[in-house]
Amino acid sequence: MTLSIIIVYAIFYIEVNMETHDNFLEGCLFFNVNALSRTLLKLAEKEFKPLKLSPAHASLLLLVYDTPGISPKHLSRLLNLTPSTITRFVDSLEKQKLLTRETQGKSSHISPTGKGLEIKGAVALAYKQFILKYNDLLGTHSAHHLSFSILTANKRISDFSDQND
C-alpha cells in the first residue's frame, strides 16, 4: 500500500468516524489502544506494587521461570521489546538478585536466582489477580476476544511496517 492510499484511507476513516462519534478520537484505534494500555497499566501496577515489581518486570520474570537459561534475544522477541530494554530490565532484576545472567562468549542466558524462585508463586498470583480483575470488568469472552484482536492487528501492522522500512 502506498503512502497516498494510506492518507486517503485515513481521511476517509476520519470522515466516517466524525459522522458516528462526537470526536474523531473515539474511533481512532491508535488513541484508544494507548488509552486502554495506560488504564490497564494502572490496574497492573496496583497488583504488582506489593512485590515492588513493575508489570513489565513481572512479565519478564514469568518467561524466565518458564524457560531458565533463555537468551535476551528470545526475551526481546517474546515481549516485543528492544534488546536494550531487555538489558535494562535484566540489569534491574539482577540488582534485586532475582535473576542471574551467565555469559558464554557472545551469548548470554538468563535464569532465576534462588531469591527469584522464592517469589515465583507471588508473581504468578499477582498476574492471575490482574487477569481476573480485567476479565471481571470486561467479561472473560470479551477480554479474550479483545486480546486476540489486538494481537492480530499488531502482527499485521508490524508485518506491514517491516516490509516498508
Q: Taking the model in full, what pTM does it have?
A: 0.82
pLDDT grade, residue 18 (50/70/90)?
A: low
- How many CB atoms lie under 10 A from the CB of residue 29? 11
What's the pLDDT tens digit per position in 40-82?
Answer: 999 999 999 999 999 999 999 999 999 999 999 999 999 999 9
- Match domain 35-150 to its CATH number in 3.30.559.10, 1.10.10.10, 3.40.50.1980, 3.90.650.10: 1.10.10.10
Q: Where are the alpha helices (DSSP H) in the chain?
A: 3-20, 29-48, 55-66, 72-79, 83-95, 114-118, 120-138, 140-163
